Structure 1
């Protein structure tokens, strides 16, 4: 029986777009602010990225997902998780709430839940929406590749304007030699320096990829420890607990108690509300984007301004 999707849902990793926009627009030392002194550079850049993705992938439905504070079930499991992250720049902090206000005025739901990361909300919603629709996840985070399936594509934002890499299961296997599930197992073995969990000490990406190619999964490797070189076997045996913990930390949850229906996330630009918000934030140079959006669909071609 063929699959007839009820539209295309685009799940936006709001944190990824916001951070990317902040650093892209503050690189030269200039921070865009309102006349009252409110920093707005990250929100301004976020909107350019947002509308470019909408123009490129033409969703019928839109959701934006966010982290809701530092503490999550992962920090409870491992207190070193992301403990290496530096504090957000002072000019970015007020823009966390501001960007959600702007997204809401566009007519797009903001989804986030304390105790979980945006990734987990995206994982849950992608599983839910893919039952009826095709799903595109827009992010810069390669961890999201574990969510790829026949109805879920992960769109990785690359350097430069309008530059995306779209992954489905075939592309993931062709480029990285991995299935979606193996993306999680890979992190179990090699850890993640960005998120600050170690994996198995002494095992890097090359060895981890060979183990997964030869034995398929963490379980397959453990069942075949006797067949491994002595050095690799010793490293895994010494760090078995951390292997399992690292894999657990890497796995994006798909059962978070968040709910959003297709009706709630139908993409219909709230033009007047958005225009008022743009005017309030002195985004006059972006108002033409709203005027260019057709009434029936929020699809618009934009010109990148100060973003590179």
Structure 2
């Protein structure tokens, strides 16, 4: 492929868009049930969000990545991983499969692997296409900051369907003063309350960032324990096992074989066929969005 024709791949964190869309409308009691009475608010919001992102970021190709189950390889590493998360609302549960099904009906390329998180699929895509494509990731998950590099940007959902907080490699380095890869090492110290792993007790984001700026990595900090204050040294020594485990849990796995030809990621036309299909399934919000984008 000619370098001037470098593709621009939009990677969608499917579950992040589904959850966000569900809560945005369910908070007002809007579930948009279909003919069978099944709520569709999350599904329709997910599709509308993805369609809007294609018109906003103008990618040449697209893939949607999904979490396939609650249990992943990280649960095998640590029993407490994500166990403190509440059960999804009953109105959301049937929409997990529906969202993937709608995504396939529209014609988007979908990825989901049992035992892996969407983050790992996105990370693997970034690794495979590094330098060969420009990549925009749409998500709400700050963990993905570690994937930033030249040619990759992350669009964090902020408001509605079209307001994003966009991070580039350059912006991250300027704001944090470390490389995106070193972001993993800061999370090893802070842990992640939403994912349920604690890191080192008593070390927050500011201290973690200071340590990594000074010593470069978890290993660098451990090798320089003698230089730290006795109180800091004690905290790290007492939570040493969890520090190493937290680093493993924080790192996105980027080695899944997802090397499909670029043609498989081509964005479908939002034409009459797609609109009729969505209308027949009772997804009027998606139909309207498809219509507005195909004019």
Q: Is the 8 A contact 1:63 1:265 kept in 2?
A: yes
1:181-232: CA deviation from partner (whole Å, max 9, x where unpaired):
1211111001000000010111111211111121121121111111111101
- Give the TM-score of the pair, scaled to structure 2: 0.94
Alignment-derived partner of residue 282 in structure 2: 282
Equivalent-residue separation in structure 2 for 1:255 and 1:284 (angstroms)? 39
Equivalent-residue separation in structure 1 for 2:41 and 2:229 (angstroms)? 53
Name stretches of at least 5 consecutive residues in structure 2 with no aligned partner: none
Question: Which is worse superposed, 207-216 or 194-203?
Answer: 207-216
Q: Is the 8 A contact 1:40 1:281 kept in 2?
A: no
Alignment-derived partner of residue 125 in structure 1: 125
1:58-109: CA deviation from partner (whole Å, max 9, x where unpaired):
1100000001111111000000000001111111111111111111122111
Shift of 1:270: 5.6
1:117-144: CA deviation from partner (whole Å, max 9, x where unpaired):
0100010011112241111111000000
Shift of 1:161: 4.2
> Aligned residue pairs: how many?
294
Change (3 A) 1:254 1:4: farther
Q: Is the 8 A contact 1:107 1:270 kept in 2?
A: no
Alignment-derived partner of residue 47 in structure 2: 47
Shift of 1:7: 1.3
Aligned-residue RMSD, C-alpha = 1.8
Change (3 A) 1:133 1:47: same
Question: Which is worse superposed, 155-164 or 90-99?
Answer: 155-164
Alignment-derived partner of residue 252 in structure 1: 252
Equivalent-residue separation in structure 1 for 2:20 and 2:46 (angstroms)? 8
Change (3 A) 1:273 1:90: farther
Alignment-derived partner of residue 198 in structure 2: 198
Shift of 1:278: 1.4
Alignment-derived partner of residue 60 in structure 1: 60
Change (3 A) 1:61 1:179: same
- Give the TM-score of the pair, scaled to structure 1: 0.90
Any idea what SS the aligned residue of 2:262 has? coil
Q: Is the 8 A contact 2:61 2:265 kept in 1?
A: yes
Change (3 A) 1:161 1:270: closer
Any idea what SS the aligned residue of 1:264 has? helix
Alignment-derived partner of residue 110 in structure 1: 110
Any idea what SS the aligned residue of 1:234 has? helix
Change (3 A) 1:275 1:160: closer
Q: Is the 8 A contact 1:67 1:116 kept in 2?
A: yes
Alignment-derived partner of residue 269 in structure 2: 269
> Which structure has the highest helix share of the two?
2
Any idea what SS the aligned residue of 1:158 has? strand
Name stretches of at least 5 consecutive residues in structure 1 with no aligned partner: 295-299, 301-308
Equivalent-residue separation in structure 2 for 1:129 and 1:115 (angstroms)? 23
Equivalent-residue separation in structure 1 for 2:268 and 2:31 (angstroms)? 31
Q: Is the 8 A contact 2:33 2:41 kept in 1?
A: yes
